Amino acid sequence: MEFEYIKTIEVSRLTDGEGVYHKLESGRELAFFLIDEILYAIDNKCPHMGMPLHEGSLVDKHVLMCRYHQWKFDLKTGISTFAPNIYIKKYETRVEDGFIFVKMPVMS
C-alpha cells in the first residue's frame, strides 16, 4: 500500500491538552491533540457511536475520554482502557514549516 503525507493545519493552533478538529478534502475527519509536546492525530469518530472525539477530555494525561458515554482511549496506543480489541485509528505525523502533515494511504 502506498502512503502520502497530507498537509493539514498549522501546529500553532494546538494548545496543550485541547482537541482540535480538522476535515481533510477526502472527507475524513481528524482530531489532533498536543500533550507534553507530543502530537497525536486520530480519527475523530468514536468507535462506540461515532461521536466527535475532539470534544473529549484528557484524564490520566494521555487517556482521552469521549464526552458522550465516557469510553476511554490511551492516545499512545489508541487502545481503549477496557477492551484491547476496541481502539481508535492513529496516524503518523510530521511537522514541516509549521504545518502538520498526516500519513494517509494513497486513494486510487
Alpha carbon distance 52, 18 (integer Å)? 13
* Set of cell numbers at residue 65: 475520554
DSSP type of residue 24 = -
Burial class (CB within 10 angstroms; exposed 0-12, middle 13-18, buried 19+) of 66: buried
Q: Per rule CB under 6 A, is residue 68 in the interface with ligand FES?
A: yes
* Pattern 41-60, ligand FES, x by CB under 6 A: -----x-xx-x---------
Asked if 66 is part of the footprint of ligand FES (rule: CB under 6 A), the reply reads yes
Q: How far is the CB of 23 from ligand FES (least distance, A)?
A: 18
The alpha helices in the chain, defined as continuous H runs, are: none
**At which residue does the C-alpha cell 473529549 appear?**
56
Tell me how far, at minimum, the Cβ of 49 lies from ligand FES, in Å.
4
* Residue whose CB is less far from ligand FES, 5 or 72: 72
* Cβ nearer to ligand FES, comparing 18 with 43: 43
| Contact in structure between 43 and 28 (CB atoms under 8 Å) | yes
Site residues for ligand FES per CB under 6 A:
46, 48-49, 51, 66, 68-69, 71
